[in-house]
């Protein structure tokens, strides 16, 4: 990374950023002069800080105060100076135990991972189910309950699994219910909601014979589920953690953040514009395209299954977040999710 900074400037910048992350206060030259690793006088440090400010790496919030990192400073820190956070055995064990304990669906895996991310990092976390390009069912299955009830299981392209409880007006034996599901696999697999037309439904009813009256409620359940999935979703954990940081003390700004979490569209759009790769994505301050995030950092990592993006987990917090711990936590969680999906396909129905 081309930057033109001397080793001394880099060490001073790193010391300022890490001190500011720790306590949130502007950092002065007298404080840094106590750092034995710098081996500089206060006057030398002041000169270097002034040059770092002129280069855009530091900012001075008040005339007589110390300096704080700018967005450029944080970006340099993340790209060039960050040391890997080493998770404790206890933290890793907690991740593995939580993600492998009787998981049923991918949505549940992502929610558990998000909840754990918030707990481990003390920041707000998000679990994202992205807007799919198209929603298509790859396979239908069923679980027999009794002659008037069964559970329809829909396995979607990309790995998502949804279930619908179906109540029948007419009694059907288990083998008749299974025959209905075979019809769905023959007539509806691979179709989008727009492609499930009246003619398709009529053809299914003709093939269903005596079970024809059941086709309409079955298709309605499929259509409703596909419509629900078209919108994507964001689940937020640990919003209360934002209140622990002075960056969110402004009531108006906090209200805007809560509105963003509630509406979800801005976050879904932001994730959708990110690169499609296996790495951690970091948006610092105004790098976020959402205005209300201009004093925040979003860090997230995509979750894939069979090469397809099926979700994402992320962290939102102040720009002075503990980047090293956040990145390692998301990496460990993503690895745990990969293992969970690999073991049971992310759709175990115990």
310-324 pLDDT per residue, tens:
788 999 999 999 999
What CATH class is the domain 7-81? mainly alpha
Bridge partners of 315, per DSSP, are 125, 299
Q: Is the dihedral of CA 4, 9, 10, 14 positive or negative?
A: negative
Alpha-carbon distance 237 to 110, whole Å?
11
Nearest to 161 by CA among 346, 324, 350: 346
Alpha-carbon distance 135 to 149, whole Å?
26
Delimit the domains of the chain by residue range: 7-81, 89-131+232-344, 137-229
Alpha-carbon distance 109 to 101, whole Å?
10
CA distances from 304 to 192, 262, 276, 350 (A): 22, 25, 10, 23
**What DSSP string runs through 150-169?**
EEEEEEETTS-EEEEEEE-S
Check if the beta carbon of residue 160 is closer than 8 Å to that of residue 135. no
Nearest to 330 by CA among 309, 300, 298: 300
14-73 pLDDT per residue, tens:
999 999 999 889 999 988 988 878 888 889 999 999 999 999 999 988 766 789 999 999
3-class DSSP state of 313: strand
pLDDT the model gives residue 350? 34
Which residue pairs, CB below 8 angstroms and at least 24 apart, start in 140-143? Answer: 140/181, 140/184, 140/185, 140/188, 140/189, 141/181, 142/177, 142/178, 142/180, 142/181, 143/349
Q: Is the dihedral of CA 94, 315, 70, 61 positive or negative?
A: negative
pLDDT the model gives residue 68? 94
Q: Which residues of the chain have pLDDT under 50?
A: 102-103, 344-350
Bridge partners of 128, per DSSP, are 234, 312
Instruction: Burial-class residue 307 by CB neighbours within 10 Å (0-12, 13-18, 19+).
Output: exposed
Q: What predicted TM-score, i.e. pTM, was given to this entire model?
A: 0.70
CA distances from 103 to 98, 142, 348 (A): 9, 19, 7
Those residues whose C-beta lies under 8 Å from the C-beta of residue 342, and which sit 6 or more positions away, are: none
pLDDT the model gives residue 102? 45
Q: Determine the distance from the C-alpha atom of residue 1 to the mean position of all C-alpha atoms in its chain, rounded to a whole number.
A: 28
pLDDT the model gives residue 111? 87
Q: Supply the DSSP symbol for 232.
A: -
Answer yes or no: CATH 3.30.1150.10 is held by domain 89-131+232-344: no
Bridge partners of 305, per DSSP, are 308
Token pair for 150: 């069964």
pLDDT the model gives residue 27? 92
pLDDT the model gives residue 248? 92
3-class DSSP state of 58: strand
CA distances from 77 to 101, 147, 201, 246, 310 (A): 37, 63, 58, 22, 30
13 phi-psi bin (left φ>0, alpha ψ -120 to 50, beta other): alpha
Burial string for 215-239 (b: 16+ CB within 10 Å, else e) reads beebbebbeebbeebeebbbbbbbb
Query: What topology does CATH give the domain 137-229?
Result: Enolase-like; domain 1 (3.30.390)
């Amino acid at each position: 990374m081309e930057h033109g900074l001397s080793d001394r400037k880099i060490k001073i910048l790193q010391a300022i950023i890490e001190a500011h992350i720790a306590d949130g206060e502007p950092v002065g030259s007298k404080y840094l002069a106590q750092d034995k690793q710098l081996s500089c006088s206060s006057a030398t440090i002041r000169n270097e800080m002034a040059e770092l400010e002129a280069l855009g790496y530091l900012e001075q919030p008040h005339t007589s105060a110390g300096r704080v990192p700018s967005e450029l400073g944080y970006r340099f820190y993340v790209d060039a100076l960050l040391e890997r956070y080493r998770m404790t055995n206890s933290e890793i064990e907690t991740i593995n135990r939580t993600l492998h304990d009787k998981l049923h669906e991918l949505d549940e895996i992502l929610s558990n991972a998000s909840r754990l991310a918030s707990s481990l990092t003390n920041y707000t976390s998000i679990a994202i189910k992205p807007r799919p390009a198209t929603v298509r069912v790859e396979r239908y299955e069923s679980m027999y309950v009794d002659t008037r009830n069964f559970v329809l299981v829909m396995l979607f392209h990309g790995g998502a699994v949804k279930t619908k409880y179906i109540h029948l007006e007419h009694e059907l034996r288990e083998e008749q219910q299974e025959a209905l599901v075979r019809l769905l696999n023959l007539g509806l697999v691979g179709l989008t909601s727009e492609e499930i037309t009246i003619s398709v439904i009529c053809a299914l009813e003709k093939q269903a014979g005596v079970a024809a009256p059941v086709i309409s409620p079955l298709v309605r359940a499929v259509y409703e589920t596909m419509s629900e999935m078209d919108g994507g979703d964001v689940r937020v954990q640990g919003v209360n953690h934002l209140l622990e940081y002075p960056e969110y003390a402004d009531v108006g700004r906090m209200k805007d953040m809560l509105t963003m979490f509630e509406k979800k569209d801005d976050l879904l759009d932001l994730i959708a514009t990110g690169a499609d790769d296996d790495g951690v994505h970091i948006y610092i301050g105004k790098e976020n395209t959402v205005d209300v995030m201009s004093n925040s950092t979003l860090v997230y990592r995509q979750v894939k299954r069979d090469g397809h993006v099926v979700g994402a987990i992320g962290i939102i917090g102040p720009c002075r977040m503990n980047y090293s711990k956040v990145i390692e936590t998301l990496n460990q969680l993503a690895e745990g999710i990969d293992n969970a999906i690999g073991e049971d396909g992310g759709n175990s129905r115990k």
